[in-house]
Each structure stands twice: as C-alpha cells, then as structure tokens.
C-alpha cells in the first residue's frame, strides 16, 4: 500500500491526534465504518472502467472506510473520513486517503458552514458515493458518475436551509481546490497518470419532500497541469510525403469547464421509485478535452428486503472534441516505409486516444438484498454498447480502438455501514 499524497495521511494523522486529544472534552463523538467488497467480470479481454476484464477484478468496486464525528459544542463539530481504495495514481496499488476532513459550524436551523476537505454534491449520490450500503445500485451509473476525475475538494462550503412545511429547500455554495490524477490509456504507450490542479466553485439547489428530491447544480472548474505538459488546443492538418495527417496546435495553460447537473429522485405508489440524472460538461479553451452530455434513468421497486432495478444510461462527447476524435481516428497513411509510416500512424493513434472521448450507452439490471438494516448484497448485469469509442476502455495495443462493440459485466458485492 502506498500513500496517494504524503500530505494526506499526515493531515489525517494530525487531525486524528487533535480529535483524540479533544475527544475527552467533546460533548459527543461517534465512530462508523463502511465498505464494499465487490467483484466484477466482463466477457472481454480488454479492460473496462480501469479494472474490469474477463479475468475478473475486486478493484473496481471494493472500498473500505471509517468515519469519526466529533461534537465539540452544540454548534461546532468535525468529521474525518478515511478510505482504503484502489489508487488514483496507478492501477496496481491501494491508497489510504482522507476523503473528508472538515469542521462544521451550525449556528441555527438555517445555516451550516463547513471548512476543509469534503465532497461536492455534483450528483444525487455524490457525498455517499463510497458507501454502497446507502443506495440500491451495485454501481452507480458510470456514464453519469464519471464526468469528473474527483469530487473531493478542499475549501469552504456554505449551506442555507429553508423549512417549507413538509419539505426543505437548501442552497449549497462552495469554493475550493483539489489535486487530481487523470488517467490516460493509449494503445501505443499504455497507461499513464498526469497530475492536475483544479480550482472549482459552484452552487447546488436541492428540494426535499417526503417522496421527492430534486437537485440542480452548476459548477465552474479551472484546471491546470501540475508539472505536466500543457494541454493542446486543437488539431492542424500537416502534409507528409505519404499524405495528410494531424498534429496538435497551440497549448493552453488552463482549461475551464462549466458543469450543469439535474437530478430527480421520486418515490411512487406501490413502492416504485424513479431516478433521473443528467449532465452537461461544457469544455472551454481546448477542442481536445472532455465536452460531454450524459445521464441515466432508473426504475426501482422495493419488495421487502429486495430492491430490483433497471437503469439506462448514456454518455457522449459532443462538439469539437467529438469531431477531432473522429478525424484522428480515421487519420493514417499507407504503410509504405516501415519505421517511418508506422511511426506516423502510431502518432495518430496516440493523438486520438488522448482525447477523453465517449460514445456509449448502457443497460443495467440488478437487485439489492438487505441482509440487515446495516448490510446489503447486490448483483447486477450490465451491458454497454460502445459506438465510436470510449475512453473508459483500454483498447488492445495492437489493432483498432474498440468501437461498435458490446461489453457484458457481471457484478456482485457485499456492502455494509455501521
């Protein structure tokens, strides 16, 4: 096991020491633990979603965590959450990281201020994403829940609540920053991880009633390479003795993204439930980044301890990055001079693979089974159709990128939270 970032375990240890020394003075404190032991296997030899292939993997869904909540005064509390999960820096290691480390000040019913590291509510289940026990899906739809490399941000969060009779309206506003590792897999160079610095701010409006939850969020992110190469801006056509090919044109020191999400979680008569989320990730400053539209719809039926569900989801890269990916995917020169033309063609493949391009949709059928109020078993069959390509797939090194293919994934997991 290696640490993700030396400062994080240190920060966790320091925070835990502070907590331990003040716990005796604290009004109340509580420990909790959660985890998912999940296995997934697909019918393809290549990897999907980093880890899933025909050999099967425990790494896609397995996570173990613990949380400590300390109430110092009626208004002031602090929370630390640590988790053990596959590394964000490579595909081999497991990292112990601090998902949360924040202090809360709740002066009255209406206001909540939090400072530190916590998860921004980008999706309906952002904050409890790692706690499989808290939702029914074996895996939250990846087409929606993968649009940002991380949602753990260190900063300031302000929440205003309004009690509206039998419902509540809350507005969250936040601003913070995060160091993120972005995974890139190309057929010719394999997998690499590049570090970026992201500053993000946004606001989230949530309305909760007994049977309904509605959420609308808007976020603005500015991302800069942290020591790595600058991002190219666009493509340009260049002429070689063997024909026209593409090369990168220009660089930009930062990329801005505006992300908008909407989510609905509605309980229906007869223990039916419908969930819907959609996103639009608008990319600025480069034609070669993530510029996506996606979402899912799911129907669930609660039957005592069983909650079967079906979901359909989609994720597509749109606009200039989609056009650039398509052009690069078709770009090659005749293999006339070994050692020259194959190098040119490899550069075109690498360029195409470097675009975070998605054109896929999925159907999932699964169920959860509540063993106890604190634990669930889950099973799911997922079928993903990949049309023109998907950056979630590690295409085999020799040959074309995976396109117009179907992938079946079987998943089973044990989830708990105590």
Partner 1 sequence: MTRLKFTLAGLLLLACVPLCHAADRIVVIGHANVRKIDLTTVQRIFMGKTIEVDGVRVRPANGTPNLVARQRFLSQYLQTDEDQYVAYWTVRRYVGKGTPPHEVKQTAEMIEFVSKTPGAIGYVDEADVLPGMNVVLRK
Return residues touching partner 1 (CB under 8 A): 28, 30, 32, 34, 67, 69, 71, 74-75, 77, 79, 100, 102, 104, 106, 108-109, 112, 114, 118-119, 121, 127-128, 130-131, 133-134, 161, 163, 165-166, 168, 370, 373-374, 417
- Minimum CB separation of residue 109 from partner 1 in Å reads 5
Q: Among the residues of 289-340, which ranges form H helices?
A: 320-329
Q: How far is the CB of 5 from partner 1 (least distance, A)?
A: 21
Q: Which is nearer to partner 1, 52 or 118 (CB)?
A: 118
CA angle 203, 209, 213 (to 5 degrees): 50
CB of 15 to partner 1, least distance (A): 15
| Nearer CB in complex with partner 1: 5/127 | 127
Return the number of the residue (106 or 350) whose C-beta is nearest partner 1.
Answer: 106
Nearer of residues 32 and 90 to partner 1, judged by Cβ: 32
| Shortest Å, Cβ 77 to partner 1 | 8
Minimum distance, C-beta of residue 74 to partner 1, in the bound complex (Å): 4
Nearer to partner 1, 92 or 109 (CB): 109
CB of 176 to partner 1, least distance (A): 14
The answer to whether 371 and 328 are in contact (CB under 8 A) is no
> Beta strand 212-225 with 190-208: parallel, antiparallel or unpaired?
antiparallel
Nearer to partner 1, 46 or 157 (CB): 157
Phi, psi of 290 (to 5 degrees): -80, 120
In this structure, what are the phi and psi dihedrals at residue 170, rounded to the nearest 5 degrees? Answer: -135, 145
Residue 38 CB coordination number (10 Å): 22
Nearest CB to partner 1, comparing residues 21 and 30: 30
User: For partner 1, which is the closer residue by CB, 161 or 223?
Assistant: 161
Which of 418, 410, 365, 417 is closest to 38 using CA atoms?
410
Task: Evaluate whether 324 touches 297 at the Cβ level (below 8 Å).
Answer: no
Residue that is written with structure tokens 């190098």 in the block? 343
HSE value, Cβ hemisphere, 13 Å, CA-based, for 27 = 8
Burial of 383 (0-12, 13-18, 19+ CB in 10 A): middle
Q: Least CB distance from residue 29 to partner 1, whole Å?
A: 9
Number of H helices, E strands in the chain: 4, 21
Query: Nearest-CA neighbor of 261 among 294, 308, 287?
Result: 294
Q: Where are the beta strands (DSSP E) in 14-53?
A: 28-42, 47-48
The minimum distance between CB 102 and partner 1, in angstroms, equals: 7
- State the nearest-atom distance from the C-beta of 160 to partner 1, in Å: 13
* Nearest to partner 1 of 53, 152 (CB atom): 152
- Shortest gap between Cβ of 279 and partner 1 (angstroms)? 19
Beta strands in 269-404 (DSSP E): 272-283, 292-301, 306-317, 358-372, 375-390, 393-394
Name the helix (H) or strand (E) containing 271: none
- Let me know: does 336 contact 275? Beta carbons within 8 Å: no
Q: List the beta bridge partners of residue 350.
A: none
Toward partner 1, which CB reaches closer, 5 or 69? 69
In this structure, the number of other CB atoms found within 10 A of the CB of residue 239 comes to 8
């Amino acid at each position: 096991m290696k640490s993700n970032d030396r400062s994080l375990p240190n920060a966790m240890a320091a925070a835990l020491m502070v907590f331990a020394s003040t716990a005796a003075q604290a009004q109340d404190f509580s420990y909790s633990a959660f985890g998912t032991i999940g296995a997934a296997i697909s019918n393809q030899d290549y990897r999907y979603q980093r880890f899933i292939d025909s050999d099967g993997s425990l790494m896609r869904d397995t996570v173990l965590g613990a949380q400590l909540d300390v109430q110092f005064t009626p208004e002031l509390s602090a929370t630390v959450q640590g988790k053990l999960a596959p590394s964000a820096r490579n595909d081999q290691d497991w990292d112990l990281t601090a998902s949360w480390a924040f202090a809360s000040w709740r002066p009255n019913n209406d206001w909540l201020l939090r400072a530190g590291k916590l998860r921004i509510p980008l999706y309906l289940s952002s904050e409890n994403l790692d706690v499989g026990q808290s939702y029914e899906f074996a895996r939250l739809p990846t087409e929606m829940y993968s649009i940002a490399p991380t949602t753990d941000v260190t900063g300031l969060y302000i929440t205003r609540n309004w009690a509206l009779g039998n419902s509540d309206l809350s507005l969250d506003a936040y601003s913070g920053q995060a160091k993120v590792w972005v995974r890139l897999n190309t057929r010719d160079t394999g997998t690499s991880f590049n570090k970026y610095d992201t500053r993000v701010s946004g606001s989230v409006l949530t309305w909760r009633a007994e049977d309904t939850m509605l959420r609308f969020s808007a976020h603005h992110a500015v991302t800069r390479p942290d020591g790595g190469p600058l991002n190219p801006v666009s493509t340009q056509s260049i002429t070689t003795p063997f024909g026209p090919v593409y090369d990168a044109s220009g660089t930009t020191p930062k990329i801005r993204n505006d992300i908008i999400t909407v989510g609905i979680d509605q309980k229906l008569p007869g223990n039916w439930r419908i969930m819907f989320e959609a996103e639009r990730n608008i990319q600025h400053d480069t034609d070669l980044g993530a510029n996506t539209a996606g979402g899912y719809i799911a129907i669930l039926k609660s039957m005592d301890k069983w909650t079967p569900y079906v979901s359909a989801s989609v994720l597509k890269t749109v606009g200039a990055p989609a056009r650039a990916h398509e052009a690069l995917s078709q770009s090659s020169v005749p293999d006339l001079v070994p050692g020259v033309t194959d190098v040119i063609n490899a550069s075109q493949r690498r360029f195409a693979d470097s675009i975070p391009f998605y054109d896929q949709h999925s159907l999932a059928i699964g169920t959860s089974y509540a063993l106890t109020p604190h634990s669930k078993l889950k099973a799911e069959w997922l079928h993903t159709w990949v049309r023109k390509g998907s950056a979630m797939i590690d295409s085999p090194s020799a040959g074309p990128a995976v396109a117009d293919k179907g992938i079946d994934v079987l998943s089973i997991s044990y989830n708990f939270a105590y």
